[in-house]
Each structure stands twice: as C-alpha cells, then as structure tokens.
Structure 1
Amino acid sequence: MKTLYLDAFSGMSGDMFLGALIDLGIDLHAIETELKKLHVSGYTLTAERIAKSAIYGTNFDVVLDSGEKDHGFIEHREQEHHGHHHGRHLDDIVKLIENSDLSETVKKHAISIFQDIGRAESKVHNVPLNEVHFHEVGALDSIVDIVGSCIAMELLGVDNVKCSTITDGTGFIDVAHGRMPVPVPAVAQMLTERTIPVKQNTQVHTELLTPTGLGIVKEFVSEFSSLDQNDDIQKVGYGFGKRDTGLFNALRVFVLEKTDSHADVSATHDQVIQIETNIDDQTAEGLGYAMDQLLANGALDVFFTPIQMKKNRPGVKLTVLVKEQDQDQLIRLIFKATTAKGVRYIPYQRTIMQRSFKKVTYRNMIVRLKVASFNDIKRITPEYEDCKEIAEKFDLPLNTVYDEVKKLYQE
C-alpha cells in the first residue's frame, strides 16, 4: 500500500501541491495533455526546478495570456457595476468540468473541491451558492490548479493520503474585498466542516494556507498524523510557494510504503483477533474502499465471503484479522468505512512460518524478498511490484525475473 504524505510545515496552495507532485516525477506534459480535455485556453504551465535555501524543488505556475490571477470570490452585482463580465459562476465551472473529456474520477474530485470552496464563499458573503462568482477570467488559474491537481493524483496512483498538522501564517493579506485576517474568511469557514489540525506561525505575517490548498486537503487526505516508524520513505518532492515568508516556503511530500508487513517474525505461534460483520446494504465500490482502508491501517488480512441473509437477501461477510493492540482502532474504522452496525470477534491461535526480509540487486535495481521458513521448509518470495518494474523496464517475462532473483539469494 503506497501513501502520499503531505508535510505542510509552510501551509499549502494549489501551485505548491502540483509543484511537489511534479517534483516526485509526475510528467508535466501528461498533465498538460489531460488539461486540454477541459477545452479552455488562455494559459501556459511552467515548472522549473530551482533551489531555495540550497534545497532543490519545483516551482510550478499557471501563466495567464491576459487578465489577473485569481483574487477569490467577487459578488456578481459588483462586477456588473464596474462593467466587467469575465467571471464565472460556480455553476459555470461545474458545467465546464462535467462537459469535459476528463476521466470520471478527475471530474468527481475537481467538482467536489470547487463546491467545497463555493459553500464557504456562499456562507462568508451571505449569497446563494448559485451566485458565487469568481474574479476576472473565471479564476482560470484556480481551475487549472484544482483540475491539474486531481489529474496529477490520478497519475500518481497512491492508495492513501495523509497529512501533518498544517501551518498557516498570521496578520492580514489583501484580497478582492480588501484587507482580511489570516486565515482568510473562506479558509476559516472551510475548517468548520471537518476537524483539521492547523497551527499559526507567528513569525510569518502572511497567508500560507489558501482555499484551493485546503480544498485539496479536504478532498484527498484521510488521516492527519506524524510520520510513522513503519513508513518506508520511497520518494521525496518539494513544491515551492510564491510568497516571501522569510523562511523556507515549500510543501514537502513523501511517497511511503507501509512496512508493518515487512517486519521480521521469529515466532512460530501467535494470537490474532478475527473480527466479522455481515453487510447487505453497501456498494461494491464502498466495500473495496473499506478493504483498502483496513489494510492501510494495519489489518493483517481482509476478505469477503458471499452469504444469504434474512429474507434471503444476498450479502457479504467481512472478515478482518488484526493484532490484539489494533483491535479497537480497526473496529472503529469498520464502523466509519462500512454500513455495519455491529461486529463480533474472537481470538485465534496461529501456527505461522518465521519470516525475514532481504534485498538483492538485479540489473542494478533493488528487489525485496520475503524468506519464510518452518523447520526444514523454506520459501522465497520476491516482491511483485519490484519484479514487475524490472520486467517492464527490460522487456522480460515476469517469471524470468522471479526465477533469476531467487537464484541470486540462494547464491
């Protein structure tokens, strides 16, 4: 299970997020190609790898052909009074995304983020949601930032997103309606809908957390926590912010792989808890999501069994194997991620193979191996993802990679 971890020590904005994902290796041209499916023009994407405080990262920007950058919400009647008609209502932006050729997943996430920001602006400015109106060219840079971020997330293909406590600044900034306190009103309103840990850095006298950045966090982040000792860091990327804060202004991101299952096991017997519940009113997609969440948070195994329930209704039995110390946490997650209203559980004694984890180098690439043994029985299993990457890179049969990697360990 791969996790994207957002280290938001200097807040977050849309361009910082996109810059960080590009710095991880997401192809800018692939993002540009997908964005063309929106059928809008008038902008150019730039992504320059530069150094700040001697740390290299990516400075991403949306350069508009004309007009100004997004200054946030502006009332429709105020635009008419000044003779400007270049903005877009929230409904216009939603229709633009819905009518595009983007994937359904990207559409869903992008619309959700815009609606989240729109609800906050509607509440702050006391206007109906359908009258929320954005500055200048329909907040073109915000459209590109938000849709581009959703495209980049789809290209990254992680299973889960976690985030640190988010740092914001203090003081005041100038927005479309004048001088406003930090956090800006839209951000403050967005924070009322979900518990998100935010702290203010009193050394920074400007905004660090933007509505776009917070919208992305609310849409994708499932957990707020520190890095875990069992998180194996695979990649690191930096996306730079535009504001001069006097400090290192960047979003740092990590691609993590959970290593709970990669811990050596010397015992041949242990005890686990088996948790079960019967479900007959949840979609297949919802069940798949629940399985991913349980495995990502420490479940040893998760599986479904088809069953017939009361009144001969078809259903599934969810079975989860967990360590004793994780029982309460994962029961809570079952209630959160499924429609279950109760669970049953029982302790089980297990006889298991001893396990250790090794690494070998094959064709100058690292391959992880699981070595399982019980008395005189030994089994060597190369990591599928590592072998798959090698097979694709060198155009080899997957079985050939498996066999050669096993020989390397035996030697």
Structure 2
Amino acid sequence: MRTLYLDAFSGISGDMMIGVLLDLGVKIEDLKAELQKLHLTGYSLSAQKKPKNAIYGTDFDVVLDHGSKDTGFVEHHHDHHHGGARHLTEILTIIKNSDLSEKIKRQASGIFTEIGKAESQVHQVPLNEVHFHEVGALDSIVDIVGSCIALDLLHVDHIKCSTISDGSGFINVAHGQMPVPVPAVMQMRVGTSIPIKQRTDVHTELITPTGMGIIKVLVDSFGTISETEAVEKVGYGFGKRDTGGFNALRAMILDRSASRRTIATTHDQVAVLKANLDNQTGESLGYAAKRLFEAGALDVFLTPIQMKKGRPGQLLTVIASANQVTKFTQLILKNTATKGVRYQIVKRTIMQRKEIVLPTDYGDVHLKIAQFNGMVKATPEYDDVAHFAMQSGETFDYIQTRLQALIDTKIS
C-alpha cells in the first residue's frame, strides 16, 4: 500500500501541494492534459525545479493571462451583479460539466464547498451567495482541481498528514487586517480534530483556505510515520510567502509492505484490541476495517457473536504493534459505533520472513518466504498471481498451482 505523507512544517497552500506532487514525479504535461478537461482558458502553468535554502524542490505557479491572483471571498449585494465575481455555484457547475473523472469532480467540489461554507459562516451570507473574485477563482479552480488530478496521477492509496504549522499575527487584505489563522481556516477547524500548531516566530499566514480545504477533504489520517512504513521518495513544493525560514511543503511516498519484507525475530509482542458491535451495517464495518488496515493494523477481522437479549452482533478484533494502542483505540472509536475498546498486550511466536523475486515463464514473481526451526513456507504474492492469470487468460487457481509447484521445486 502506497501512502502519501504530508509534512506540513510550514503550512500548506494549493500551489505548494501541486509543487510537491510534481516534485514526487507527476509530469506537468499529464497535469496540463487533464486540466484541459475543465474547458477553461486564460491561464498557463509554470513549474521550476530550483534550490531554496540549498534544498531543491519545485516552485509551481498558475500564471494568469490577465488580472491578479485569488483574493478569496468578495462581498456581493443583491441589487447588482459584481462584474469581477463568480458564484460558488458557478464554480461547482464548471467542475460538474467537465470531462474529469467522477472521483476528481467529487473531491474538487468537496474542497470548494468546504471553503464556501466557511466563508458563508464568517461573512454571514447564504452559501449560494458566496462569491469569489472572477480571475482569482480561475487561479483557485486550477489549484484545487489540479491538486486532485495530481494525486490521482501519483496513484497513492492513503494520505496522511503531520501536525500542520500556521503563523501568527495579522495579514493585510482588501477589507483590512485579518488575524492568523485567517477566519475561513479557523472556521474549517470547527467540528474536526485536525492538529494545527501556531508558530509565534512566523508573522504571516502559512495555511491558506485552499490548503485547509485540501487537508479537510483529502487527508485520511494524521500522525507521524510509523515503524511499518518505509520512505520511498521525498519531494518539496515551495511556497510564495517570505516566512523568514524554509517555506515549503515536504511530502514522502511511503510503502508499508516494503518495510515488512524482512522479519528477523521469532518472538515479539502485539496489542489485541476488541469491541462488540451490534448496530452497524456491513458496509460501514467494511469501511472501518479498510481504514484500520490503511493505518497499519497487522490484522483486522470480524467474528459473529450473540449479544444481550439475543441480538446478533460482531466482535471486531484488531491486532497491532504493541506501542500503538492509543492510536488504534481512537480509530476504532471514531469509525465504529462502540463506546469502549478492550485491549491486552500478548506475546507471540512468529516465523522469520523475507521477500525474494523468482524468475518464471510468466515473469518475475514475488515470493514470501517464512522460516522457523527448519520449517520453510513459500507462497507467491497474490497480486502477481492475479496479474499472470489476467495476462495469460488462465484461471487464478491454475496459475497459483503451477507457480506453487515451481516454488516447491526451487525451495526444496
């Protein structure tokens, strides 16, 4: 499983987000091609690889043919149409009528809606009357939709974020001074547990409304990089503000499976967490299990049980690293209907494990090798078996049987 980890030590904005995704390998030509599906003109994209504080990263920018950059919310009165403004509903219609995938439409619309709701609350206007500067809205559309496109092009399964830093003090805008965090960002924090830390040494905005919208809609979890996640690649996306320090968004591609290919020990300890559930649908339980696996659980399973008054229920069991009890307790409480979680730390005996690659007539197959006291078990990776079956037109069972026979011959 590939995870994108955002290290937001200097906040986040739309251009920083796209910059770091380009730095991680997304091609600017692919981004441009996908953005053409919006059927919008009046802009071009700039992406420069350059050093900042002796560290190389990508400086991304949306260059407008006319006008200035995004000025955010614009006051609007009922008696006239503000010529330099565009309704939130107009922006959502542009996204809806585009040729983009439904996933990208849903994500981009969700981000714009979150920003619109925050501006509506802060400025006390109905949501359908929220306006953005017309040229600025173009800049925001490209930043927001472009971020969703770039993430899709990067092919990550999970997005995780650190505590996000913001500045302090005030910034000057069209209507006067505004406190940091800016009101729209602060409003988007309501009802969430998004971790934000204010830096008193930085006297400007670090988290923009666009950046906060991206975080709120797209990030799956918050925390640090766990011991089961191996860093594959690091990238930097530069910001435009002068913070007096290194203003960049750092991101890493993490591969959870890569760090677990070799297990040298035969004894360790794990946490076993349990919760009884009797009022959740199968779909929501499947979603909860998915989130737990994505967060690094070693195993997640459900056992049918009978509860009070003869009610059928499910026993959720999660096996995790012994030092992650608090993390998984919170995830279980958040994603299930239970009001309590039981846990214990248990000892276990495990087989030493490693992964090797074996050439075959079908192609290279990844093998999982497990050993203990002279016993050896070797099995082909499911994804390889499925790929070879699709490629050859044979059944999954046929390919697996042939590969297993070859493996047994090689291993013995």
Match of 1:282 in 2: 281
Alignment-derived partner of residue 394 in structure 1: none
Q: Is the 8 A contact 2:2 2:255 kept in 1?
A: yes
Question: How far 1:263 sits from its partner (Å)?
Answer: 5.7
1:126 to 124, 133, 151: 124
Distance of aligned partners of 1:118 and 1:272 in 2 relative to their CA distance in 1, 3 Å threshold:
closer
**Distance change in 2, residues 1:79/1:135 (3 Å):** farther
Contact map agreement 2:74 2:131 (CA 8 A) in 1:
yes
Counterpart of 1:18? 18
Matched with 1:114 is: 112
TM-score by length of 2: 0.80
On the 8 A contact 2:273/2:317 being kept in 1, the answer is: yes
- SS state of the match for residue 115, structure 1? helix
State the one-letter code of the partner of 2:50: I
Q: Give 1:355's aligned amino acid.
A: Q
Name the residue aligned to 1:294. Answer: 292
Q: CA deviation at 1:372?
A: 0.6
Shift of the 170–322 alpha-carbon distance from structure 1 to 2, 3 Å rule, reads: closer
Cα displacement (A) at 1:230: 3.3
Q: CA deviation at 1:234?
A: 0.6
Range with bigger deviation, 60-69 or 154-163: 154-163
TM alignment of 1:141-290, pairs within 5 A: 141-258=139-256, 261-262=260-261, 264-267=263-266, 273=272, 275=274, 277=276, 281-282=280-281, 284=283, 286-290=284-288
Change (3 A) 1:149 1:307: farther
The residue type equivalent to 1:102 in the other structure is L
**Counterpart-to-counterpart distance in 2, 1:272 and 1:201:** 36
CA distance in structure 2 between the partners assigned to 1:172 and 1:332 by the alignment: 35
Cα distance, 1:215–1:79 mapped onto 2, change above 3 Å = farther
* Partners of 2:173 and 2:192 in 1: CA distance: 24
Farther off after superposition, 42-51 or 163-172: 163-172
Change (3 A) 1:187 1:349: closer
Q: CA deviation at 1:307?
A: 9.8
Cα distance in 2 between the residues matched to 1:334 and 1:107:
30
Contact kept, 8 Å, 1:282 with 1:339, in 2: the verdict is no
TM-score (norm 1): 0.80
How far did residue 256 of structure 1 move?
Answer: 1.1
CA contact (8 A) 2:9 2:249 kept: yes
Tell me, in whole angstroms, the C-alpha distance in 1 between the residues paired with 2:58 and 2:8.
16
Taking the TM superposition and a 5 Å limit, the aligned residue runs for 1:305-320 are 320=318
Q: Distance in 2 between matches of 1:358 and 1:283?
A: 34
Equivalent residue for 1:91? Answer: 89
CA displacement 1:337-395 (0-9 Å, x = unmatched)? 23456778899987x65223366799xxx99864311333213457677x79x99xxxx
Instruction: Give the aligned residue type for 2:25.
Output: G
For residues 209 and 357 of structure 1, the distance between their equivalents in structure 2, rounded to whole angstroms, comes to 42
Change (3 A) 1:147 1:374: same
- Equivalence for 1:354: 351
Segment drifting more, 269-278 vs 123-132: 269-278
CA contact (8 A) 2:74 2:132 kept: yes
The one-letter amino acid paired with 2:266 is A
* More divergent stretch after superposition (145-154 vs 190-199): 190-199
In the alignment, structure 1 segments of 5+ residues that lack a partner are 392-396
Contact 1:19/1:60 (CA < 8 Å) preserved in 2?
yes
State how far apart, in whole Å, the 2-side matches of 1:39 and 1:155 are.
19
Kept in 2, the 8 Å contact 1:72–1:175? The answer is no
Shift of 1:46: 1.8
Change (3 A) 1:343 1:370: same
Contact kept, 8 Å, 1:46 with 1:63, in 2: the verdict is yes
Q: Distance in 1 between matches of 2:186 and 2:345?
A: 46
Partner AA of 1:15 in structure 2: D
Is residue 356–residue 369 contact of structure 2 (8 Å, CA) maintained in 1?
Answer: no
Q: Write the deviation string for residues 44-71 of structure 1: whole angstroms up to 9, x where unpaired.
A: 1221211112211111111112222111
What is the CA-CA distance between 1:247 and the residue it aligns to? 1.6
Report the counterpart of residue 391 of structure 2 in structure 1: none
- Say which SS state the counterpart of residue 70 (structure 2) adopts: coil
RMSD of aligned alpha carbons: 4.0
What is the Cα deviation at residue 182 of structure 1? 1.9
Q: What CA distance in whole angstroms lies between the structure 1 residues aligned with 2:7 and 2:268?
A: 39
- Contact 1:165-1:198 at 8 Å conserved across structures: yes
**In the aligned structure 2, how far is the partner of 1:287 from the partner of 1:165?**
28
Superposition pairs of residues 315-354 of structure 1, within 5 angstroms: 320-322=318-320, 326=324, 329-339=327-337, 353-354=350-351
1:216-236 CA distance string (max 9 Å, x none): 111122333233333210111
Q: What number of residue pairs does the alignment pair up? A: 395
CA distance in 2, matches of 1:309, 1:200: 47
Counterpart check, 1:40 vs 2:37: no
1:56 is paired with a residue of what secondary structure?
A: strand
Q: Equivalents in 2 of 1:26, 1:289: separation in Å?
A: 29
Change (3 A) 1:9 1:324: closer
Return the letter of the residue paired with 1:330.
F
Indicate the residue corresponding to 1:72 in structure 2. Answer: 72
Separation of aligned partners in 1, 2:338 and 2:137: 42
For residues 35 and 312 of structure 2, what CA distance do their matches in structure 1 show? 42
Q: Structure 1 residues 267 and 197 mapped into 2: Cα distance closer, same or farther (>3 Å)?
A: same
